[in-house]
Structures are given as C-alpha cells and as structure tokens.
Amino acid sequence: MFLVTGIFAQNSGLFPVSNNRKYGYIDKTGKMIIKPQFDYATVFSEGMAHAKIEGKRGFIDKTGKYVIDPIYDKVRNFNGGLAAVKSKGKWGFIDKTGKVVIELQFDYAYSFSEGLARIQQGEQFGFIDKTGKWVIKAQYDAAYDFKEGLARVKQGDYRTGKWGYINKTGALILEYRYDESFDFSEGKANVRIGNEQSGKWGFIDKNGGFVIEPMFDRAFYFVEGLSLIRIGSFKTGKYGYIDTKGGIAVNPQYYGGHHFSEGLACVKETKEGKWGYIDKTGKVIIGFQFDIPADFEHGLAKVRIGTYKSGVSGFIDKTGKFIWQSS
C-alpha cells in the first residue's frame, strides 16, 4: 500500500510516498520518479532530501542517489547551504559536499534561519553564525528561530516565564511581557496576555504596540493577509478568519481550520465531521469529504479519506480531483 508522507517537496516537483514501508518519490503527475527503497525519506530542500537506510541518515539528489553518505544518527534539511547533523550524541553542521564545517559539539542544533542557527547547550538556548561563532550566547530558557529580523525568547519556567523579542545582536527589542508569543509574519506577531485558560490573543507590530487588541481566545499568525482565529474554548469554540485590521473576513463557524495557502484553506464543517476547502470569501471550493487534510503547495494538497488501515490517501488539485492516490 502507498502512503503519502511528510509535506510537499519544496520547489523540487517531487513528493515522498511510502510503499510497503519503503520510501520513494512521485512527480506531480503521480509517476514514480525514485523507486521506494529508503526506510524513511523527507521533502527536498535546496536540491537535497535526507533519507534513512539501515538506521543511518544521509542526503540524496533528485535521482535518488546518495550524495552525502548515510553515516549520521539524525539530520535536518539544508537551509542556507548548511545542514545540522548528529553523531555520537552531538550536533554540528555540514555543507553540500558533506564536509563538516562546524564541528559536532552541541547538545541540539536547529537549521539556519536568516543567517543564524538556534543552539541548545544544556538547558539554555543561543545563536551561532555560519562559522560556528556564538553571536548570542546561550542564555535563554526557550527560543525560536529568527523571522523578519527578530526571534522570540523566554526567561523563566514553563508556567510563569515571559516571552520577549531580540534582534540579531542579542539586544532585547521587545520586553519580556507576553505569556505566549509566536514569530513575526507579515509584520505582525500573535501574542497572548494572561493565562492559557482566560487570557486573550492579539497582534503586535515590531515596536511592541498592539495593532489588533487582545480579544480572541486563540489567534494564529498571518498568512496571505488573513489569520485563523478562534472564539470560545478549545473544546467548543469556533474558527474563522480576520483581516490585517482585525475585521472578520470569514465568520467563526468551523470546528477546525488551517492557514490559507495558495488562496485556499482547509476547514472542518462539524465537530465529528469532514474537512473541505474554502476561498478567502468563505466560499466552499472543495466539498467536505476528507478525514485528514493538508495545505496546498505547488498546486497540490495531500489528503486522506478514511482510516489509516482502510482509507485512501493521495494528492488532489484545486478542483478536488485526485491526481494520484494510494492503492
């Protein structure tokens, strides 16, 4: 049986699938391009994908040939010309020739983003540059990657700590005041003031001013000019979409939702029901029929109808037509 795996291959035109527990790749027409042969395989990034065989991971090209031998215990995809790799309990970075350019020395290493990589040493997080030099020493209790020039960082424990934002020199640009926060996207960041049960979400700009006041029970980052929001609790609330000024673009009426991607968003019609796709006006474009949906990328979305044991998975186009499905 074929299973669709992972997310869409980034700009590669190849999509990972699984056949009898072996992974290969199809193209947009459903043709098998790289026959199933790997124990695990991911999407392509910067021309390579990481693939696992006999317990070790390396990187393949678009023909399925290993260009970096599978010698690592764990790896992350290439970003900015470098990939994080792990061996013998430590992380470092290699270039696209497989050369180790930053020695394996870190407890955890994440992919480069905007020229810096997030590193964890012990319980603290910091950032290095592509030479391996610490640009911002490990000092935060939690941290995420740089987006739009800023990174969210946390001081304090899981329950009582606060989030703020730093720039690439490590200067604290927005003070530690947010109970929860996410990355900047389209010039705004979604943040929560108050605890998880009763706090409200709104949006700040890069000066820290609220451009959309905290009023939502949940709010997600902006994509394509719209943000997914929830009114009500996690169990009983309804999801809709707001515009960049905080106005309702699609009324909160759904029991689940994803970000817009390529003009469409998947939403769940009823609590125990199916998923379909709407456009930015709220019009249903692809009817409610899917048990597991995903966002459109490169004109296709991977979906499943039915259970993992007996259902069918595959890729649909923007009309809802299957261009490839499992057998």
302-318 confidence digits (pLDDT tens): 899 998 888 888 889 99
Position 326 in a domain: yes
270: its two tokens = 């009823």
pLDDT at position 56 over 80: yes
Kindly tell me if the per-residue pLDDT of 5 is higher than 60.
no
The Cα 217–Cα 273 span in angstroms is 23
More confident residue, 17 or 172: 172
Residue 46 lies in a domain: no
Collapsing DSSP to helix, strand or coil, 143 comes out as strand
Question: Which domain, by its residues, includes 303?
Answer: 265-327
Q: Is 282 part of any domain?
A: yes
Give the pLDDT band (50/70/90) at residue 327: low
Residue 155 counted as domain residue = no
Residue at token pair 């603290």: 124
pLDDT of residue 6: 45
Name the pLDDT band for 17 (thresholds 50, 70, 90).
confident
- Reduce the DSSP state of residue 298 to 3 states and report it: coil
pTM value?
0.91
Question: What would the two tokens of residue 227 be?
Answer: 């943000």
The single-letter DSSP state of residue 39 is S
Which residue shows structure tokens 């309702």? 248
CA quadruple 112, 76, 105, 145: dihedral sign: positive
Number of domains the chain is built from: 1
Dump pLDDT digits (tens) for 236-293: 999 999 999 999 999 999 999 999 999 999 999 999 999 999 999 999 999 999 999 9
Query: Is 260 a member of any domain?
Result: no
Q: Tell me whether residue 89 is in a domain.
A: no
Question: Is residue 29 very low, low, confident or very high in pLDDT (cuts 50, 70, 90)?
Answer: confident
Q: Look at residue 291 and tell me if it is in a domain.
A: yes
How confident is the model at residue 326, as a pLDDT? 76
Residue 78 lies in a domain: no
Instruction: Check: CB of residue 292 under 8 Å from CB of residue 280.
Output: no
